Structure 1
Amino acid sequence: MDRLQAMQVFVTVVEAGSFSAAARQIGVGQPAISKTIAQLEERLQVRLLVRSTHSLAPTDAGVRFYERARAAIREADEAELEARGAGAGLSGRLRVSAATTFARLLIVPRLPEFLARHPDIEIDVLLDDRVIDLVSEGIDMALRMGELTDSAAIARQIARSRRSVIATPAYLSRAGTPLVPADLATHEAIVYSQLGASWTFRRNGTEASVAVRGRVRLSAAEGIRAAVLADLGLTVNSDWMFAPEIESGAVRRVLEDWELPPVDLWAVFPTGRLASAKARAFADYVESILAQ
């Protein structure tokens, strides 16, 4: 029995929901499907499917085998494409996860160029600030910022951004411009919940930590942007998140002679399988546009 072919049959059965539907998709008789599944279960010494006259469902072992088999088939397809020199002609669906604001500002506007280079690729972009499970969501690659919490993640750093203290000219005109980190204690801070209300600065080997205060605390970068642009106060954020406004002068950096820890961008791939050629190509593209 061809192992990969048997895996493909099993995956088709699970996704089709019945032997007869799988047989129609594959173009063989239903007895051939039944025989392949029986041989696969005998080989593995485990029951993969629970069958009745009206329904079919994978067992717990079947669910685990389905996930692994689907990944193995996908990797085999990618290997064939690369062996045929198809890297320059990538095709199929690419699912990418990214933080909402980052993707809206810096990735989505640059998608036309990537799609023009690869006319046979379709992209699904899942915009979510949460760290999601890539395997269960069927994600090919995630763009994640900051420190990676999953030590087992397959990832590579593709960019780094400075962090700055940012405010609008209108707010600074009203509240004054801080000259040293300690001045921030008297300002209205817009606090990003994930970073907390203690900001640490460095300059010439000197470190200064400031506990800031503010009446606005937000859990998403989109809210931070809206609050800053509404002149509610100043904040610490990556320059990525205010790139258009920094360029136009709608916001200003302050305390520029003090450094904040930078933020890294990572391309993260599902654990347990090789990164697809499409995902690697998209990671390279994002790296190139941020380098500009």
Structure 2
Amino acid sequence: MDRLTLLETLATTLDEGSINRAAQRRGLTQSAASQQIKSLETLLGHELLLRTPRGVKATRAGELVYAHAQSLLGGYDRLTAELDAQSDQVSGRFSISTSRFMAQALLGPMLMELDTPYPDLNIVMRIEDRLVDVVRENYDLAIRTGSLGDTDGVGRKIGELETVLFATPAYLDQIGRPSCPEDMQRLKYIQHHEDHTMGYFPLTRDGETYQAPIRVGFTADDTDLIMRAVTKGSGYSRAPRLVVQDGLIDGSFEEILPDHAAPNKDIFAVYPSRHALDRRHKVVIDGFLDRLRSSATSEISPPLVQDHAITA
């Protein structure tokens, strides 16, 4: 077995803190993953992992090997990406990471439509409401909103999403509808863990920005859980307009301070290397932006999209 495979299994195990979770991520059985780590320990002549009741952690030798493994694997991924970028063909395996919202509302449906024009393109999409490292975790592309996170890859802003503050009418009947940004203090904010409000939201009206106070009542990293909490009447939240536009139309949700604009949410494309952009990236990103533009309805203002050109 090649040494890069052994190093990748070790790095994944330490990232996950568990041989079992690493095996699942690598598509292996737990025994196969354990055998690969033993083979690496035999090859290097050092014990690399310590088993604990909470999982596994690196020995001192394991920490050294892990650091070099990250560098070697990242270099190999950049090498293969740059080789792929020399080809104009839209074919082969193409791995994408994105959030649940992006996958369900925009990216997933668009990717399924690529099968007809590009039958040799093998899309592998993982839905993860966390910020991945496209280099270390061997992704060709990640589509993210809000924050890039900690990654060795290259991020490029490709657009923006209009967002709104929203709640159920019943919750606003109970608490009282804010008439100005200062009134937001009365309401409980249901926050996504990526949001960094610092106690205030900048709301814009007629070119002026107002700082609306934020009182956080609940924080979660799962968008479905946040939507359920809002629907239950636990508070209000912020989301892309296209996510809640059906609820705004049928009255399930109500926009808060509709004459004030909430901050837009940036959309980023993240890839392993600035030299790694090839025809596949362009096809996927252009298709995604086309889908975003077409998501507008006549009843709701269209989502704001500001393109930043990508060349391949």
TM above 0.5, yes or no, is: yes
Q: Which residue number corresponds to residue 31 of structure 1? A: none
Partners of 1:203 and 1:257 within 8 A in 2? yes
- Deviation for aligned residue 1:140: 0.4
RMSD of Structure 2 on Structure 1 (CA): 3.2
Partners of 1:159 and 1:290 within 8 A in 2? no
Partners of 1:102 and 1:240 within 8 A in 2? no
Q: Which residue number corresponds to residue 100 of structure 1? A: 100
- Deviation for aligned residue 1:282: 0.8
Q: Deviations over 1:52-81 (max 9, x none)?
A: 9x9757x967874565345424432441x3
Which letter does structure 1 place at the counterpart of 2:252? A
- Deviation for aligned residue 1:147: 4.3
What SS is found at the alignment partner of 2:116? helix
- Deviation for aligned residue 1:184: 1.6
What SS is found at the alignment partner of 1:97? strand
Q: Which residue number corresponds to residue 191 of structure 1? A: 191
What SS is found at the alignment partner of 2:276? coil
Label 1:66 to 1:235 Cα distance change in 2 as closer, same or farther (>3 A): closer
1:158-237 to 2 correspondences below 5 Å: 158-195=158-195, 196=197, 197-237=199-239
Gaps of 5+ in 1: 1-11, 18-51
Q: Which residue number corresponds to residue 46 of structure 1? A: none
What SS is found at the alignment partner of 1:164? strand
Q: Which residue number corresponds to residue 3 of structure 1? A: none
TM-score, L = length of structure 1: 0.69
Q: Which residue number corresponds to residue 307 of structure 2? A: none
Label 1:267 to 1:205 Cα distance change in 2 as closer, same or farther (>3 A): same
Partners of 2:81 and 2:273 within 8 A in 1? no
Partners of 1:98 and 1:125 within 8 A in 2? yes
Q: Which residue number corresponds to residue 290 of structure 1? A: 292
Partners of 1:202 and 1:208 within 8 A in 2? yes
Q: Deviations over 1:119-170 (max 9, x none)?
A: 2222221222222111121100111112445697523322211221111233
Label 1:144 to 1:102 Cα distance change in 2 as closer, same or farther (>3 A): same
Question: What is the CA–CA distance in structure 2 between the aligned matches of 1:149 and 1:16, rounded to whole Å?
Answer: 26
Q: Which residue number corresponds to residue 132 of structure 1? A: 132
Question: What is the CA–CA distance in structure 1 between the aligned matches of 2:245 and 2:120, rounded to whole Å?
Answer: 31
Question: What is the CA–CA distance in structure 1 between the aligned matches of 2:118 and 2:106, rounded to whole Å?
Answer: 19
Label 1:208 to 1:272 Cα distance change in 2 as closer, same or farther (>3 A): closer
Label 1:111 to 1:217 Cα distance change in 2 as closer, same or farther (>3 A): same
Which letter does structure 2 place at the counterpart of 1:116? T
Label 1:55 to 1:277 Cα distance change in 2 as closer, same or farther (>3 A): farther
Q: Which residue number corresponds to residue 33 of structure 1? A: none
Partners of 1:225 and 1:241 within 8 A in 2? no
- Deviation for aligned residue 1:175: 3.0
Q: Which residue number corresponds to residue 20 of structure 1? A: none
Question: What is the CA–CA distance in structure 1 between the aligned matches of 2:4 and 2:176, rounded to whole Å?
Answer: 62
Partners of 1:142 and 1:268 within 8 A in 2? yes
1:275 to 274, 277, 291: 277
What SS is found at the alignment partner of 2:270? strand
Higher helix share: 1
> Structure 1 stretch 132-141 or stretch 147-156: which is displaced more?
147-156
Partners of 2:85 and 2:277 within 8 A in 1? no
Select the structure of larger CA radius of gyration. Answer: 1
Question: What is the CA–CA distance in structure 2 between the aligned matches of 1:131 and 1:275, rounded to whole Å?
Answer: 20
Which letter does structure 2 place at the counterpart of 1:75? E
What SS is found at the alignment partner of 1:117? coil
Label 1:109 to 1:250 Cα distance change in 2 as closer, same or farther (>3 A): farther
Q: Which residue number corresponds to residue 79 of structure 2? A: 72
> Structure 1 stretch 66-75 or stretch 269-278: which is displaced more?
66-75
Which letter does structure 2 place at the counterpart of 1:188? K
Question: What is the CA–CA distance in structure 1 between the aligned matches of 2:168 and 2:78, rounded to whole Å?
Answer: 48
Question: What is the CA–CA distance in structure 2 between the aligned matches of 1:220 and 1:273, rounded to whole Å?
Answer: 33
Gaps of 5+ in 2: 7-38, 45-63, 295-312
Q: Which residue number corresponds to residue 34 of structure 1? A: none
